[in-house]
A and B are shown apart, each in its own frame.
Chain A
Amino acid sequence: MRKPLGLKILDGVTLLAFAAAAALVFFYAPLEAQMGAVQKVFYFHVAAGWTGMLGFVVAAVTSALYLITRNPRWDGFSVSGVEIGLVFMLINIVSGSIWAYPTWNTWWTWDVRLTTATIMELIYLAYGLLRQGVEDLERRRRFAAVYALLGFVSVPITFVSIRLFNSIHPVVIGAGGEMPTMAFTPAMQVAFFGSLIAFSFIFVDLFWHRLLLANWAEQVDALKARFEDVEGGMN
């Protein structure tokens, strides 16, 4: 049970990518004229949102694959996607709140984007509770896959919410029309894509770690079961 070499290398690359992205954000990208230093939150906020949504997309795709093939391996992918997605969506919501306080003058407002993102987070928390509540392993995997598919509807809703409804949340990707948008200088764009790339590395790295963990947990369970058999045989 040793960490594979590829993963060790990826750890290093991820660390470097993150350091580079942080350097770009803090030292290369200029200070935004109106918002000042707090605008720098935005680079990590969007990147965390991207990573979180990526996790949920992976979970939905692998859940569908699990239901079709019934290969437990896809269930491991699905849990990993949801767990990483939950963590990064939480970072996304909290960092958004930090940005909102000086910009909107409030930590929280019931804007569609904030609300849909929170509901999405709640759905995937419920996913975790569902897994805990079902003891039979095979049934747990099936039900979790079903719920990950039903709950996935919240992800595209969250993504398009600011484009469909009146929202005070800025549109970053595919901006247009009369919606509030963000104006970038080229240096800001470099920092933005730098942090997107760094967070994508973090995603893959964490995902790999989480899959390894799932494998090891399975082996421990198998060993426990064998140990109990031996003990039961002695009595």
Chain B
Amino acid sequence: MNRGRAFGRAVLALVWKDLLAELRSLEVISAMLVFALTVILVFNFALELTPRLRAELSSGVLWVSLAFSGTLGLNRSLGQEKDRGCLDGLLLAPVDRLAIFFGKALANWLFMLLSLVILLPVLSVLYDPRLLQAGVWGVALLGSLGYVVVGTLLASMAVQARTRDVLLPILLFPVLLPALVASVKASSGFLLGLPGNEISPWLMVLIVYDLIFLALALFVFDAILEE
């Protein structure tokens, strides 16, 4: 068996392990969903939204609730590896460290997309029916990819720190901001039906963001998963 196939199998095995664990406990997804819904409700009351305002703010609300609930998922996903000693087990396994990182990131991406599949229709009922369109889904795909790459890296560091629960959002949000802004701008562009040439710069920002942090991840993941 060549190295590429072994690598792919290791990544898939990790994703499968996370999915199976999640299927049995529903710890990550349920926490993310409930929290995201709470954030959406809080926004509605805290900002005293009228129907018109709701439609204008919906992409901002979508991304903020996703970003906040995502930190819960990330902390849980990597926290349980650390707490139950699974991380050491994973590191002992005779697979490429990069496969461990990609496996975790891919699993987190799946969790995020799964919660989006439920969140987006709910938000479209509560805020703005135009949210359910291909463009918004595309932005969600790109935006959440950048989110999990940076998030998985930072969460793996945060769970190994003494101040683990407070650390992740502090580390993550400022680094995440370019992706967050681009996602909000691009999805509200789709909602407002702006012409393609006004949306594409933000999509480019998202793609470049994803690529930069994927490349950085390749360089630094070794230093995080080293014990």
Q: Assess whether A123 is interfacial by the CB under 8 Å rule.
A: yes
Q: How many residue pairs between the two chains, A and B, have CB atoms under 8 Å in the bound complex?
A: 69
Q: Which residues of B in the span 149-170 have a Cβ within 8 Å of any Cβ on A? A: 150, 153-154, 157, 160-164, 167, 170
Q: Looking at the complex, which of A81-89, A129-137, A180-188 is the stretch in contact with chain B?
A: A129-137
Q: Are A67 and B220 in contact (CB under 8 A)?
A: yes
Task: Please report the C-alpha to C-alpha distance between residue A130 and residue B219 in the assembled complex, in whole angstroms.
Answer: 20
Q: Are A149 and B216 in contact (CB under 8 A)?
A: yes
Q: Are B174 and A150 in contact (CB under 8 A)?
A: no
Contact with B along A58-91 (1 / 0, CB 8 A): 0000000001000000000000000000000000
Q: Is the interface of B mostly helix, strand, loop or mixed?
A: helix
Q: Are B163 and A146 in contact (CB under 8 A)?
A: no
Q: Are B175 and A146 in contact (CB under 8 A)?
A: no
Task: Please report the C-alpha to C-alpha distance between residue A147 and residue B171 in the assembled complex, in whole angstroms.
Answer: 8
Chain B residue with Cβ nearest A153: B212
Q: Is the interface of A mostly helix, strand, loop or mixed?
A: helix
Q: Assess whether A224 is interfacial by the CB under 8 Å rule.
A: no
Candidates B154, B170, B178, B224; contact of A157 at CB < 8 Å = B178
Q: Are A150 and B213 in contact (CB under 8 A)?
A: yes
Q: Are A146 and B153 in contact (CB under 8 A)?
A: yes
Q: Are A151 and B175 in contact (CB under 8 A)?
A: yes
For B174, the chain A residues whose CB sits under 8 A away are 119, 122-123, 126, 151, 154
Q: Assess whether B49 is interfacial by the CB under 8 Å rule.
A: no
Task: Please report the C-alpha to C-alpha distance between residue A149 and residue B157 in the assembled complex, in whole angstroms.
Answer: 14
For A133, the chain B residues whose CB sits under 8 A away are 161-164, 167
For B163, the chain A residues whose CB sits under 8 A away are 129, 132-133
Q: Assess whether A169 is interfacial by the CB under 8 Å rule.
A: no
Q: 3 shortest A-B CB distances, which residue pairs?
A: A133-B163, A133-B161, A122-B174
